[in-house]
Amino acid sequence: MSTTFHCPEAPSRYVRRPCSSPGLGLACREGDRCGYCDDGFEEDVETDAPSVNMSGVNASAVLSALGLLEFGDVSYGRIEHARVPDALRRILRLLNTDGAVEAHARPASEDVGAMGARSFDLGEDGDDFADRVRRLQAVLVYAADSGYSVAWD
């Protein structure tokens, strides 16, 4: 599961481009289509607004560290435009509080499950957490400047 933070009111547009299946090694030509496209074309949604995607676990850590779970849960939430400056202040406070970022470091670990399967967690330092917070900050700054709200789902 992953979570994407974005500006739902930001303009987006449909773009139509030639099917990418031939680049993936699949046949897609006149009379022999790949079955995934619309007669040789694919449609996609494009926007100029920034967005950030992270795993559900990481999104949960960011949302709770910033106290943003009052705007929703980890699977869906929305910060209305009027509350965006408040969310930005929380980010500045977190990034400028000694030890607040480092508190989210996770040491590398190894786990052996009941069936003997080993799983490894490479861990991460506080920089990875701070990087995710800064990417969310960029989405919020864009929303503040453009009159949009920020949602995640």
Residues engaged in binding Zn ion (CB under 5 A) = 19, 21, 28, 34, 37
Q: Closer CB to Zn ion, residue 26 or residue 144? A: 26
- Shortest gap between Cβ of 12 and Zn ion (angstroms)? 23
- Shortest gap between Cβ of 76 and Zn ion (angstroms)? 33
- Shortest gap between Cβ of 44 and Zn ion (angstroms)? 13
* Beta-carbon contacts of residue 139 (< 8 Å; ≥ 6 apart): 5, 6, 7, 49, 50, 51, 52, 150
Give burial (CB, 10 Å; 0-12/13-18/19+) of 101.
buried
Residue 149 φ then ψ, to 5°: -95, 170
Query: Which tokens in the block code for residue 14?
Result: 């449909």
| CA–CA distance, 47 with 41 (Å, rounded to integer) | 19
- Shortest gap between Cβ of 128 and Zn ion (angstroms)? 37
- Shortest gap between Cβ of 15 and Zn ion (angstroms)? 16
Q: Closer CB to Zn ion, residue 7 or residue 19? A: 19
Q: Closer CB to Zn ion, residue 16 or residue 118? A: 16
Give burial (CB, 10 Å; 0-12/13-18/19+) of 143.
buried
Q: Closer CB to Zn ion, residue 25 or residue 99? A: 25
Q: Closer CB to Zn ion, residue 24 or residue 69? A: 24
